[in-house]
Amino acid sequence: MARQVHLFDRPARFVAGTVGQPGDRTFFLQATGAGRTVSVSLEKVQVALLADRLEELLGEVQRRLGTPAEAGPAADAEDNEPLDTPVDEEFRVAAMGLAWDGDAELVVVEAQAAGEEPTDESTILEDVEDGPDVLRVRITSAEARAFIERARRVVSAGRPPCPLCGLPLDPAGHVCPRQNGYRRASAA
């Protein structure tokens, strides 16, 4: 099957966001630019890992190349707006890849769709004709840092953890394994 590559080179916006209430949220990566918006869904843990790996990549680039990968986002880069609507899921993310384009000095983020076959890691960050669809975004290091900060805010905006077991608390509480199955009330 022909692969569809949704390429955004220096998009107007690249963010992580959610739809729904804490405990019932769907997480998305969304890229907007050149009059189009592409949204792909993924798991909360994938958003957190992407933020962590982006930070590691920027640190490694700075360490190896000595280039100041901009210490933080530009003052006007903070994006607290909701996802652009309508949020139409193009695909569900199965695998992600990161790279540094040294010539352009841009971070490359690729999110690959789940396919019927197991994920072929050789197709991540490669221009091949066949394979799962991808969202590929090329952003500056400052834009990557802004993405990291927003992604961490989005992930932490969920349900508060139980102080005993660390599992998320529902508004009505939850059955806490540390209390031998007794219901623990919400901290709200």
Does residue 167 carry a pLDDT above 60? yes
Show the tokens assigned to 151: 């992604």
Does residue 188 carry a pLDDT above 50? no
* First-to-last C-alpha distance (Å) of the chain: 50
Q: Quick check: 170 and 187 in contact, CB under 8 A?
A: no
Q: Are strands 36-42 and 89-101 parallel, antiparallel or unpaired?
A: parallel
Which of 26-30, 120-124, 156-160 shows the lowest mean pLDDT across its residues? 120-124
Show the tokens assigned to 30: 């969304």
pLDDT for residue 68 = 60
The mean per-residue pLDDT over the stretch 102-113 comes to 95
Which of 55-64, 107-116, 118-127, 162-171 shows the lowest mean pLDDT across its residues? 118-127
Q: In 3D, which of 39, 42, 15, 14 has the Cα closest to residue 26?
A: 42
Q: Quick check: 172 and 184 in contact, CB under 8 A?
A: no
Domain positions in the chain are 5-157, 161-188
pLDDT for residue 80 = 87
Q: Which CATH class is domain 5-157?
A: alpha beta
* Torsion angle (degrees, nearest 10) of CA 156, 157, 162, 165: -30
Q: Which of 51-65, 74-88, 107-121 has the highest mean pLDDT?
A: 51-65
- What is the phi/psi pair of residue 2, to 5°? -65, 135
Does residue 176 carry a pLDDT above 50? yes
Q: Quick check: 147 and 19 in contact, CB under 8 A?
A: no
Residue 112's pLDDT band, with cuts at 50, 70 and 90, is very high
Look at 86 and 179; give whichever has higher pLDDT.
Answer: 86
* Torsion angle (degrees, nearest 10) of CA 34, 36, 42, 48: 30
Chain mean pLDDT for the chain: 86
